[in-house]
Amino acid sequence: MTFNEDFGATQDGEEQQAISVFIRRRDRIFHSWSTFARGEEPFMLVFDLLDFTPYGRQESWEDSPEGWPQEPTYSWMRLQDRYGAKADQCAHHAAPPRPTEGATPDLV
């Protein structure tokens, strides 16, 4: 058995994020609490920040205007070993496109 199987963290055998709390009493360890999926949101500041952006979380369940990008919940989260090949440079080295003066966003 694995932690994920023992504690029901995943149903499909894949890896998933989780937050667990353990307590050690002398030579024994006890699992006192765990939360998975939506239960982790209070601990993830990134969701609070995304909720303030124009596109929000871009999740498929959101009531967004036609044409706004939407993805399945958590689809943008990956484990560190699940990303593609590393880029030649950091993202902050590439200059972002400058907006044209007086231009308005396409989706407003």
7 pLDDT above the threshold of 80:
no
Mean pLDDT of 13-28: 80
Mean pLDDT of 47-61: 78
Question: Looking at the DSSP assignment, which residues form a beta bridge with residue 31?
Answer: 22
For 72-105, how does the pLDDT look when each residue is reduced to its tens digit (9 = 90+)? 877 777 666 776 776 655 555 555 556 566 555 5
Write down the pLDDT at residue 108: 43
Q: Locate tokens 């989706």: which residue? A: 107
| Mean pLDDT of all residues belonging to the chain | 72
Residue pair 70/59 in contact by the 8 Å Cβ criterion: yes
